[in-house]
Amino acid sequence: MTASIHAEGLSKRFRNVSALDHLNLEVQEGAVHALVGPNGAGKTTAIKIFMNLITATSGQAQVLGMDSRTIRGKFYTQIGYVSENQELPEWMKVGALLEYLREFYPTWDIELETSLVKQFELPRQRKIKGLSRGMKMKLALASALAFHPRLIVLDEPFGGLDPLVRDQLIEGLLERAGEATVFLSSHDLAEIESFASHVSYLEEGKLRFSEEMTSLAARFREVEITLDKEQRLPSPLPESWLQAKAAGGVVRFVESRFEEERTAAEIQRLFGDVKGVDYRAMTLRAIFLALARRAEQV
Amino acid sequence: MKQTLHIFKKDARRHWPEILISLLLLGLYVKVTLHGANDRTIDSIGGSFPWALLSEQSIPLLMILFWVFFTVRLVHGETLVGDRQWWISKPYQWWKLLGAKLLFLLVFVCLPLFIAQLYFLRHAGFPIFPNLIRVGHMQLDLGLTLFLPSIVLASLTKSLGQALLGVVTLFIGLMLMVSLFEKIPSFGMSSAAEGIGDACSTLFMAAVIGAGGWQYARRRTWASRGLLVATAVVIIVIMTLTPYAKFVEKKYPLVDSSQAPARIAPAALNPSTKKGISEERFLPDIYLRVPFAVSDIALGHVVLLEGIKFNVETPDGSKWDPGWKRESTEMWTEDQQKVVLLEMKRKQFERMNLQTAQLHIELALAEFAEKEPREILLREREFFDPQLGICHWDEKDPSQIECLRPFAYPSLMATFDPAKSQCKAEERGNLIPEDKVSHVWFAPHDENSVEAGLNPIVNYSVRFGSRSWQASFQGNARPRLRVVYLCPGANVRLAKPELVRHIRVHLEMSGVRLLDLARNESDWD
CA A241, CA B249: separation in Å to the nearest integer? 87
pLDDT at position A128, please? Answer: 95
Answering whether pTM is above 0.90, one says no
pLDDT at position B517, please? Answer: 84
**In a shared domain, residues B386 and B295:** no
Domain boundary among B124, B157, B183: B183
A100 interaction partners in chain B (CB closer than 8 Å):
6, 10
- Other C-beta atoms closer than 10 Å to the C-beta of A65 total 9
Q: Which domain holds residue B86?
A: 2-183
A72 interaction partners in chain B (CB closer than 8 Å):
94
Cα Rg of chain A, angstroms: 22
CA B415, CA B297: separation in Å to the nearest integer? 15
Which pLDDT tens digit goes with each residue over A271-292? 888 888 999 999 888 888 887 7
Residue window 428-447, chain B: list those with CB within 8 Å of chain A: none
Which pLDDT tens digit goes with each residue over A207-228? 888 889 888 888 899 999 998 8
Name every residue in A having a CB less than 8 A away from some CB of B: 48, 51, 53-54, 72-77, 79, 81, 83, 85-89, 91-92, 96, 100-101, 103-105, 140
Question: With 70 as the cut, is the pLDDT of residue B483 above it?
Answer: yes
Alpha carbon B379 to chain centroid distance? Answer: 31
B17 near A CB under 8 A: no
pLDDT at position A151, please? Answer: 94
Domain boundary among B149, B164, B183: B183
In this prediction, residue B62 has a pLDDT band, given cuts at 50, 70 and 90, of very high
The domain tally of chain B equals 3
Q: What is the ipTM of this complex?
A: 0.84
**In a shared domain, residues B312 and B389:** no
**In a shared domain, residues B430 and B514:** no
B2 near A CB under 8 A: yes
Q: Where are the domains of chain A?
A: 3-216, 221-281
**In a shared domain, residues B515 and B390:** no
If you measure CA to CA, which chain B residue comes closest to A89?
Answer: B86
In a domain, B17, yes or no: yes
Distance from the Cα of B70 to chain A's closest Cα (Å) equals: 16
A73 and B94: CB-CB below 8 Å?
Answer: yes
With a CB cutoff of 8 Å and minimum separation 6, the contacts of B139 are B110, B113, B114, B117
**In a shared domain, residues B461 and B509:** no
**In a shared domain, residues B19 and B134:** yes
A81 and B89: CB-CB below 8 Å?
Answer: yes
Residue window 459-498, chain B: list those with CB within 8 Å of chain A: none
CA B88, CA A72: separation in Å to the nearest integer? 9
User: Looking at the partner chain, which of A75, A91, A104 has a beta carbon nearest the beta carbon of B14?
Assistant: A91
Nearest to B116, CA basis, from B60, B53, B39: B60
Total residues found in chain B within this entry: 525
Q: Rounded to whole angstroms, what are the CA distances from B279 to A225, A282, B284, B290, B518? A: 103, 95, 12, 19, 11
Distance from the Cα of A289 to chain B's closest Cα (Å) equals: 30
Q: What is the largest CA-CA distance in chain A?
A: 74
- In CATH terms, the fold of domain A3-216 is Rossmann fold (3.40.50)
**In a shared domain, residues B485 and B506:** no
Distance from the Cα of A75 to chain B's closest Cα (Å) equals: 7
> What is the separation, in whole angstroms, between the first and last Cα of chain A?
36
In a domain, B218, yes or no: no
| Packing angle, helices B94-105 and B58-76, rounded to 10 | 160
Question: With 90 as the cut, is the pLDDT of residue B135 above it?
Answer: yes
Question: With 90 as the cut, is the pLDDT of residue B432 above it?
Answer: no
Mean pLDDT of chain B: 87
In this prediction, residue A146 has a pLDDT band, given cuts at 50, 70 and 90, of very high
| Chain A / chain B CB contacts < 8 angstroms | 50
Helix, strand counts (H, E) of chain B: 14, 17
pLDDT at position A59, please? Answer: 94
B3 and A74: CB-CB below 8 Å?
Answer: no
With beta carbons less than 8 A apart as the criterion, state whether A54 and A48 touch: yes
**In a shared domain, residues B30 and B165:** yes
For residue B309, give the CATH number of its domain. 2.60.40
**In a shared domain, residues B153 and B302:** no
In a domain, B235, yes or no: no
**In a shared domain, residues B333 and B384:** no
CA A187, CA A36: separation in Å to the nearest integer? 6
In a domain, B122, yes or no: yes
Distance from the Cα of A107 to chain B's closest Cα (Å) equals: 12
A73 and B91: CB-CB below 8 Å?
Answer: yes
Distance from the Cα of B9 to chain A's closest Cα (Å) equals: 10
Which pLDDT tens digit goes with each residue over A40-95? 889 999 999 999 999 999 999 999 999 999 999 999 999 999 998 889 999 999 99
**In a shared domain, residues B308 and B400:** no
Domain boundary among B161, B183, B205: B183
**In a shared domain, residues B179 and B64:** yes
What is the SS3 assignment for B277?
Answer: coil
